[in-house]
Each structure stands twice: as structure tokens, then as C-alpha cells.
Amino acid sequence: MEDKTRWEEVDKTRIEGMVGDKTILAPRRLVGWVAVVKGPRRGEDFPLFEGRNTLGSSFPSQIILHDPNLSAEHLSIRFRDGAFSLFDLDSEAGVSLNGERAFHATLADGDGIIAGTSSFKVKFL
Amino acid sequence: MKPWGEEHTVIEGDTDKTRIFLPQEEGKEAPEEKEGPLIFAWLVGLTEPHLDRSFRIASERFSIGKNPGNNLIIPVPYVSAQHASIFFIDGAFSVDDLHSSNGTTVNGVRVERAPLKDDDIVAFGPVSYRFKWLPLEKEE
């Protein structure tokens, strides 16, 4: 039988307790936003939480921009140990950070990211 | 009515560019044409009842008070019905106190009207928020 469980990295500091065999996780802390300035979701904002935030065109991305030029899981923005970083998740169209192709980079407040036909900025709390 | 769906650019021959709109997906509504400038600013609660909650300021006038109908409703005593307004004028934010009983403060200083910048702490009576703003360039 096909194993449908999806491996996910769990931040152990978020574990509040157990109910039966289910782990109860504390709500993740808000650490910033993604602000869409161009593309099908222009004008919308999406929260960024502590840990890993994936962005793409469809499930299982956490931030879904409905941009046909994005891969399903296109990129991730991670907040860990007080720093933000950007990862290209082997996307077809690639990721551009402040005008340059990026695969893995450290993010600064207000940085501009282009992916597919969407462009957006990151704002840190 | 403009057919709405995913927008694509089709290149015909070498130079002709035609924009086509694919049929709209069922149940998916066309986004409203947004008027006015694109504004990305937030108030993040530092006290109850809005601790750790964030509220987007997306319009040029953002009202705060106890009454329903305000953009940010703070249902606690010591907050006036129409307590304050935040304005975005000529590319800058400011907060106006609307003669509230318990006042509005920016970084602890009571104000009638004051400019707001990123990371300022603004309080309406006993309830305080961190103001966050992502300034955009003109062409955006």
C-alpha cells in the first residue's frame, strides 16, 4: 500500500502536548508578510510564520498565488534563529532576488522577489 | 464585460503579440479593480484583545474605535467610539486623535496629530500596536 504520509520537519519548540498519538502544535509566531505588488494576486498580503513558508501556484504550498507561471511549490522563505532566507525549490521558471537569479540567499527587509509573472516584497515584523 | 481568466501573451509570427483571456474558472470571481495607491502597512497588537494579531491598513483612511463600522474595532472600555484615524497622504502616514477621552500616544507621547514611521508604537487608550509599513516606489 502506498505510503501517503508526508514527512514534515517539526520544530520541537512548538510541541504543546499529545492527544492520543497526535501531536498538538502551538500556533506559529507571525514574523512578517509577503506583499504582492505585481501578478494575479496584486495588492494582497500573506503572513510569514516562524519556520518554513512555501510559496507556489497550488497545494501543498502555504502561500498560493494562482500564477500559472509558478511551480506548485516554487520557493520557500524560512525564518530561523532570527534570520530570513530564501530557497528556490527547483522551480521551472526560477527565482529572482533584487533583479538577480537566486537559488539560496539571505533576505533583507523590503527585498523584492520575482517568480513567474508575480513580483512581491518581503516585510519583516 | 471583459472576459476574465488567466491572462496569457501569445506571440504570432515574429512581432504580433495578442493578449488572450482563457475562460474564467467556475466559482472563481474576477478580482475587483482596485482604486487608489497600493498600500502595505499593518498594525500588530501588543496588548489584549489583539495580542499578536495583525491588521492590514490598505486604504488611505483607516479608522479606529469601539464602534462597529471602524476599520479596526477595539471593543474595550477606555477606547472611544470613534477614537482615531490613520491617514496615508502624499506618500506618508500620520495618525489623528479624534478628541478621544483617553487619548492616542505614539512611542509613549500623547499626540493630537503625528507622523507615523515603521516600528512606531501607537496606543489608543490602553491598547497598543506596533505600526509596520512597507514603502513602495511610484511605479509599483
Residue A29 has pLDDT above 90, yes or no: no
Q: Please give, rounded to a whole number of angstroms, the shortest distance from the CA of A35 to a CA of chain B.
A: 7
pLDDT for A35: 95
Let me know how long chain A is: 125
Partners of residue A58 in chain B, C-beta under 8 Å: none
Nearest C-alpha neighbor of A118 from the set A58, A56, A47, A31? A56
pLDDT for A9: 53
Give the chain A residue nearest B132 (alpha carbons).
A125
pLDDT for A101: 92
Task: Tell me if chain B has a CB within 8 Å of the CB of A26.
Answer: no
Higher pLDDT: A5 or A91? It is A91
**pLDDT under 70: residue ranges of chain B:** 1-36, 138-140
Judged by CB atoms closer than 8 Å, whether chains meet at B40 and A110 is answered as no
Higher pLDDT: A116 or B137? It is A116
Nearest C-alpha neighbor of B44 from the set B135, B127, B132, B117? B132
ipTM score for this prediction? 0.77
- What would the pLDDT profile of A95-108 be if each residue is shown by its tens digit? 999 999 999 999 99
Nearest C-alpha neighbor of B88 from the set B54, B37, B35, B123? B37
Give the CA distances from residue A1 to residues A4, A5, A92, in Å, rounded to whole numbers and listed in that order. Answer: 9, 12, 31
pLDDT for B122: 97
- What would the pLDDT profile of A48-97 be if each residue is shown by its tens digit? 999 899 999 998 899 999 889 999 999 999 999 999 999 999 999 999 99
pLDDT for B4: 44
Q: Answer yes or no: are the C-beta atoms of A122 and A48 closer than 8 Å.
A: yes
Q: Please give, rounded to a whole number of angstroms, the shortest distance from the CA of A122 to a CA of chain B.
A: 8
The CA distance from B31 to A6, in Å, is 34
pLDDT for A23: 72
Compute how many other C-beta atoms are within 10 angstroms of the C-beta atom of residue B17: 9
Task: Tell me if chain B has a CB within 8 Å of the CB of A30.
Answer: yes
Judged by CB atoms closer than 8 Å, whether chains meet at B44 and A30 is answered as yes
Give the chain B residue nearest A47 (alpha carbons).
B54
Judged by CB atoms closer than 8 Å, whether chains meet at B132 and A68 is answered as no
Burial class (CB in 10 A: 0-12, 13-18, 19+), A115: buried
Q: Please give, rounded to a whole number of angstroms, the shortest distance from the CA of A84 to a CA of chain B.
A: 17
Q: How many A-B residue pairs are in contact by the CB < 8 A criterion?
A: 41
pLDDT for B16: 40
Judged by CB atoms closer than 8 Å, whether chains meet at B134 and A29 is answered as no
